[in-house]
Amino acid sequence: MEKVQLAGKDITLCPYELKHVEPQVIAGRESVAEISPWMSWCHDKYSAEESRNWIESCMKEWEVGTAYQFAITDSREDSFLGGCGLNKINEIDKVANLGYWVRSSRVKQGIATTATALLAQFGFRKLKLNRIEILVAIENKASQGVAVKAGAMREGILRNRLLLHGKIHDAVMFSLIPK
């Protein structure tokens, strides 16, 4: 796997590795109340086996170029802060989806916004993407705020776009394009 590190203000993004299994479990369990409504993987019994399986799939997807998932770490203390990634890559149109999450104890510190900006730069420069989309459930105001702060343009509401925990949600579509 290619050794990539994206550094920003107080954070570093690096491809997920098996060393992130336990830190991700701890951060995920800490964040169930805030994250689980939007991300089905995050539940109070989230296990090391689930984390390991997901990280191993991330490593395989990186190898074949179908997704690029990053651990977000604090560059001063090397602690695990959350995750972000580019997935659903459309090679023909050069478009990808961007997602992010930050552990509850570290929200509202600009971490997700900085990670989004770093990831977008990686997508435009390294992957030569023409467009990056951020799709957010209409009820998820925190993630919408991150998208706006990261400079994404709100394009509109997509009806019945997301299925979360068996319930359909409208979603807000945001986009980033190269400058």
Per-residue model confidence (pLDDT) at position 2? 64
Query: What is the pLDDT at residue 3?
Result: 78
pLDDT value of position 31: 96
Q: What CA–CA distance (Å, rounded) separates 123 from 64?
A: 16
Sheet containing strand 11-15, edge to edge, reads 6-8, 11-15, 68-74, 80-90, 95-102, 131-137, 167-176, 153-164
Locate 82 and state its tokens: 């959350």
Contact 58, 84 (CB under 8 A): no
What pLDDT is recorded for position 136?
98
pLDDT tens digits, 56-91: 999 999 999 999 999 999 999 989 999 999 999 999
pLDDT of residue 9: 86
pLDDT (0 to 100) of residue 97:
98
Entry field: residues in the chain: 179
pLDDT of residue 179: 86
Classify domain 6-129 at the CATH topology level: Aminopeptidase (3.40.630)
pLDDT at residue 1, as a whole number: 52
Break the chain into its structural domains and give their ranges: 6-129
Q: What are the residue ranges in the chain where pLDDT is below 70?
A: 1-2
Indicate the pTM of the whole model: 0.94
Residue linked to tokens 């580019």: 86
